[in-house]
Amino acid sequence: MTSSISSRWDLRVDVDADDLTITRDVVVIGAGGHGMETADIVRTVADSSSAIRLAGVVDDGQPDRQLLARLGFRFLGRTADVLERDDIEFVIGIGDPGTRARLDAAAPERAAQPLIHPTATVGSFTSLGPGVVLAQGAVVTTNVRLGRHSHLNVGASVSHDCVVGDHVTICPGVRVTGGATIGDRAFIGTAASILPGVSIGADAVIGAGAVVNRDVPAASTVRGVPAR
């Protein structure tokens, strides 16, 4: 037997009395390109799991509502409409680490559980924080920690014994090799390589295609081969 509780968005919390499964509504904050990618991941995960359901997306800007409709994503309004509620979970589909940190701080208890695309792989002894998103083809090997609301984008990898902080963005094709440490809110650009044992400071920015072979101080920007 299934029961439903409606809300003003017509969202539901479904409870299956036979197996005690609870289906949770998840809203994506952000309706730009990264937000739509994130929403697609949520929907794909939901298709193979009764635990979550994509409720829709919110955005404070002027999203392309026609495109959202063609993609089958419901537009639900502004971000405040999510943050003021306590009956839904959210994932932040925004690439900027600082923005994700700010939104997370407004309602830290409502972060969705980690969202792992079916084509991503996760090894043993790995910890994924709330709100983590692993996109198509992402690889996390063994003994790795990813902090809250960190995003590992398409085809990126994080190897053994790495520690990735909160609200980190790891762009497509990045290679984070063994024993590296990445501080909170760092941004690692597309196809960059972080060599073994390197430490990236909080709020640092690594340029696309950079090869980082030495530690990077907090709040600094490096680029190039080798990165400087």
Distance from C-alpha of 176 to C-alpha of 163, rounded to nearest angstrom = 10
The pLDDT, as a whole number, for residue 24 is 87
Task: Determine the residue type at 187.
Answer: F
Question: Which residue reads 């290679």 in tokens?
Answer: 175
Q: Which residue has the higher pLDDT, 10 or 160?
A: 160
According to the model, what pLDDT value does residue 193 have? 98
Question: Phi and psi (nearest 5°) for 122?
Answer: -130, 125
Q: Would the pLDDT of 223 be above 50?
A: yes
Among 117, 149, 160, 167, the one annotated catalytic? 160
Assess whether pLDDT exceeds 60 at residue 7.
Answer: no
Average pLDDT of the segment spanning 203-208: 98
The better pLDDT of the pair 98, 23 is held by: 98
Contact 148, 129 (CB under 8 A): yes
Q: Could you tell me if 216 and 222 are in contact, meaning their C-beta atoms sit under 8 angstroms apart? A: yes
CATH of range 2-94; options 3.10.20.70, 1.10.10.10, 3.90.1150.10, 3.40.50.720 = 3.40.50.720
Mean pLDDT (whole number) for 6-22: 46
Place of tokens 């932040």: 92
Task: Assign 87 a pLDDT band (cuts: 50, 70, 90).
Answer: confident
Query: What's residue 12's pLDDT?
Result: 44
pLDDT digits (tens, 9 = 90+) for 105-143: 999 999 999 999 999 999 999 999 999 999 999 999 999
Instruction: Check pLDDT > 70 for residue 15.
Output: no
Beta strand pairing status for 157-158 and 211-212? unpaired
Q: For the domain with range 114-219, which CATH number is right: 2.60.40.10, 2.160.10.10, 3.40.50.2300, 1.10.357.10? A: 2.160.10.10
Q: According to the model, what pLDDT value does residue 3 have?
A: 31
What's at 63, amino acid-wise?
Answer: P
Establish whether 160 is a catalytic residue.
Answer: yes
Tokens 């440490």 -> residue: 181
| pLDDT tens for each residue of 168-203 | 999 999 999 999 999 999 999 999 999 999 999 999
Using pLDDT thresholds of 50, 70 and 90, give the confidence band for residue 20. very low
Domain boundaries, the chain: 2-94, 114-219
Nearest in space to 92 (alpha carbons), one of 73, 68, 111, 76: 111
Which residue's entry shows tokens 């502004």? 78
What is the distance of C-alpha 217 from the center of its chain?
A: 24
DSSP letter at 180 equals: -
Confidence of residue 21 (pLDDT cuts 50, 70, 90): low
- In terms of pTM, does the model score above 0.75? yes
* Dihedral of alpha carbons 102, 105, 106, 108, sign: positive
Q: What is the pLDDT of residues 29-44, one digit of tens each?
A: 999 999 999 999 999 9
Summarised one tens digit per residue, pLDDT across range 67-80 is 999 999 999 999 99
